Amino acid sequence: MKKILLVMAMAATGLAAHAQTAIEKSKLFDNWSFGIQGGVYEPAMGQNVFKDLRPGVNLELSKMFTPVFGVSANYFAGINANNGNSRSTKFWGQSGVLAPKTAFDFSNLGVSGLANLTNLFCGYKGEPRAFEVVARAGAGWGYQLGDCYPQAAGSAAYNTVTTNFGFDFNFNLGESKAVTVNLKPSISYWNVGSGLNLKNSNVALLAGLTYNFKNSNGTHYFKTYDVGAMQVEIDRLNAELAKKPKEVVKEVTVEKIVEKPVTVEKTIVKETQLAPVVIFQLGKSTIDASQRPSVAMIAKYMQNHPTSKVHINGYASPEGNANLNQKLSDARAKAVYDMLVNTYKISPSRLTHKGLGVTDELFD
């Protein structure tokens, strides 16, 4: 009987690399965050700094594409502090304007680009630092109830395009870095025909919390790989494979006792070992398109040798929890098994598979 030993080894791939470090590929639903903040705001000019402060709240949804760059959408709402007065003696720098009686009389819906200045200038070390600085810039839609702007005199509401700039001072909490405390100073220019004019701008100072959702890699942030170490491991595996003979023939003597005369029967067991390996991304059990030719080679061999059988061994890297690595090695072996059965129509009776967990010995 012919028995084929298919060996699977693990490896890692990344989208970005810096020197000998690669950053893990980010999926669509990875690295999302949601935050809520509260604070105060007022016009940048023409106000009493403390007397005219008004409360506001902010909701924000953000997505980081890399440890440095991302995008966010936020909605800021100003709380009406006019105590129901129909006219305000001084409201947003104007005297005697129409002041609304609604709970919220000001809003700014914006989209901003994000740049993590800490990671940009200091590099990313594989997890967020305890303190980071993020810059933001973007545009939005501003909405104001009341005729607080000269251009909106006598109007019940005023709409305009806004230009927004700010910083986030982030304090990342705990070992998992799932929660971030934010301090957010910002300025929003109301483009009312005079460009970026401080007379038509609001400044705000907000503080709050942001939750960083868990990623497919099991953490709340980007993971990195040591490319050099991975390449050394891959080279070691390839060297070990090269040392193995492509075909090994073993003679096994089986003694069968019968009535005289005694005969000795010899059974020849032929074991063929194929060199290709199926390489997986770190922590994954899906077969990339680039690795399918290795599986196709096994399928072709089995189609040409109808009596052959395949045993598939799965392996995992030594990093991480042993139980999880065992499950990962099982899943990798099963992935090759499923592809042979479903894609190449190999009979399941000719296949066996087993996960061997973490191991340095790739061959029995």
For the segment 140-168, what is each residue's pLDDT rounded down to a tens digit?
Answer: 998 877 655 444 445 556 788 899 999 99
Q: CA nearest 350: which of 303, 295, 310, 299? A: 310
Q: Are residues 285 and 329 in the same domain?
A: yes
pLDDT, one tens digit per residue, over 91-128 is 444 444 555 667 787 899 999 999 999 999 999 999 99
Q: Are residues 255 and 158 in the same domain?
A: no
The DSSP bridge pattern shows strands 351-358 and 16-18 to be: unpaired
Q: Are residues 51 and 123 in the same domain?
A: yes
Q: Are residues 10 and 29 in the same domain?
A: no
Residue 301 forms part of a structural domain: yes
User: Which is more confidently placed, 257 or 240?
Assistant: 240
Residue 117 forms part of a structural domain: yes
* Residue 92: CB atoms within 10 Å: 23
Residue 103 forms part of a structural domain: yes
Residue 363 forms part of a structural domain: no
CB under 8 Å to 91, separation ≥6 — which residues? 82, 97, 99, 146, 148
Distance in angstroms (rounded) separating the CA atoms of residues 100 and 84: 8
4 residue type, one letter: I
Mean pLDDT value of segment 69-88:
76
Q: Are residues 81 and 197 in the same domain?
A: yes
Mean pLDDT value of segment 225-254:
63
Against a cut of 0.85, is the pTM above it? no
Residue 291 forms part of a structural domain: yes
Question: Which residue, 212, 240, 268, sits at the end of a domain?
Answer: 212
pLDDT, one tens digit per residue, over 162-205 is 999 999 999 999 999 999 999 999 999 987 566 788 888 889 99
Kindly indicate the confidence band of residue 17, based on its pLDDT and cuts at 50, 70 and 90. Answer: very low
Q: Are residues 146 and 194 in the same domain?
A: yes
For residue 230, what pLDDT is reported?
65
Q: How many residues does the chain have?
A: 364
Residue 86 forms part of a structural domain: yes
Tell whether the model's pLDDT for residue 229 goes beyond 90.
Answer: no
Question: Which residue, 160, 182, 212, sits at the end of a domain?
Answer: 212
Q: Which of 61-70, 218-227, 256-265 has the lowest mean pLDDT?
A: 256-265
Q: Are residues 41 and 169 in the same domain?
A: yes
Distance in angstroms (rounded) separating the CA atoms of residues 91 and 47: 9
* Residue range of the domain that includes 46: 25-212
Q: Is the peptide bond before 261 cis (omega within 30 degrees of 0)?
A: yes
Does residue 270 contact residue 2 with C-beta atoms inside 8 Å? yes
109 residue type, one letter: L
How many domains, in total, are found in the chain?
A: 2
Question: Which residue, 155, 180, 212, sits at the end of a domain?
Answer: 212
260-291: buried (b, 16+ CB within 10 Å) or exposed (e) per residue? eeeeeeeeeeeeebbebbbbbbbbbbebeeeb
Mean pLDDT value of segment 13-34:
72
Kindly indicate the confidence band of residue 357, based on its pLDDT and cuts at 50, 70 and 90. Answer: confident
Q: In a 3-state reduction of DSSP, which class is residue 147?
A: coil
Share above pLDDT 90 across residues of the chain, in percent, rounded to a whole number: 31
User: Residue 115 forms beta bridges with which residues?
Assistant: 69, 135
Kindly indicate the confidence band of residue 70, based on its pLDDT and cuts at 50, 70 and 90. Answer: very high
